[in-house]
Amino acid sequence: MSDRIGYRFNTQGLLDQALTHRSAGAPHNERLEFLGDALVNLIVAEALYTHWPRADEGALTRARAELVRESALAPISRELELGARLTLGPGEMKSGGHRRDSILADALEAVIGAIYLDSDFQTCRAAVLPWFEAAIAALPPPHKVGKDAKTRLQEWLQGRQKPLPVYALLSESGEDHAKSFVVTCTLVQPPLLTQGEAGSRRAAEQIAAEVALERLKIDD
């Protein structure tokens, strides 16, 4: 485990607690998670501040939110193989809690908190920052971070005083557990019609907007 996370604990009990879900009883990892949440926000904020010396507060805030949200932390937890080391109560074990994004993300934050308590901030940062370096390097330009396709398309049209796009549901099919939605995105000026298909209407709208951006060759 030490090789996976890049840190060797002096107090093994801290790591054990960080990997103990509340369903397994006390001492569990919720207090460590609270501490780790603050630490990961600081570590990532500092890294972004250095990575983007000219980005404004809004762009930095959006980028940090992208990097520390549950859906971003859970894959890191999987890479570190934390799920296999989690201590869960019988109910969570039966329901596959070791695979759940929320539990994995919480465990990652708890491990960060445990590393800090077992060492110091500089050591914690040195262990944790490599987990995020690839994601930070892969970020789009600051002005595009956190803005989905519909927002970007709307802002582009508004900036040119053109009519906003109209989204319409073209079709809906499939069983309740496997729905498919086809949505159109219509622009009046410039005239354009695109469509997107996904498992939800909202996701289909995003795809249709993304296609429109590509057709218009808009790169913000």
CATH 1.10.1520.10 in the chain: give the residue spans.
2-139
The whole-number average pLDDT for the span 18-41 is: 96
CATH 3.30.160.20 in the chain: give the residue spans.
149-215
User: pLDDT tens-digit profile of 103-113?
Assistant: 999 999 999 99
Q: 109 an active-site residue?
A: yes
Q: How far apart are CA 102 and CA 71, in angstroms?
A: 8
Side-chain-side CA neighbours of residue 151 (13 Å): 6
Residue 204's contacts (CB-CB under 8 Å, 6 or more residues apart) are 181, 182, 183, 196, 197, 198
pLDDT at residue 144 greater than cutoff 80: no
User: Could you tell me the pLDDT band of residue 10, with boundaries at 50, 70 and 90?
Assistant: very high
- pLDDT score for 50: 95
Q: Is 109 annotated as a binding residue?
A: yes
- pLDDT score for 143: 72
Amino acid identity, position 175: E
User: pLDDT tens-digit profile of 65-78?
Assistant: 989 999 899 999 99
User: Could you tell me the pLDDT band of residue 219, with boundaries at 50, 70 and 90?
Assistant: low
User: pLDDT tens-digit profile of 112-136?
Assistant: 999 999 999 999 999 999 999 999 9
Determine the topology of domain 149-215 in CATH. Double Stranded RNA Binding Domain (3.30.160)
Q: Give me the catalytic one of 16, 30, 37, 172.
A: 37
Q: Give me the catalytic one of 92, 109, 118, 210.
A: 109
Q: Is 175 annotated as a binding residue?
A: no
- pLDDT score for 177: 67
Q: 101 an active-site residue?
A: no
Specify the CATH number for 2-139; select among 1.10.1520.10, 1.10.3720.10, 3.40.50.300, 2.60.120.380: 1.10.1520.10
Q: How far apart are CA 203 and CA 197, in angstroms?
A: 8
- What percent of the residues of the chain are helix, what percent strand, and what percent coil, each to the nearest 5? 60, 10, 25
Q: Is 148 annotated as a binding residue?
A: no
- pLDDT score for 220: 54
Cβ neighbours of 175 (radius 10 Å): 7
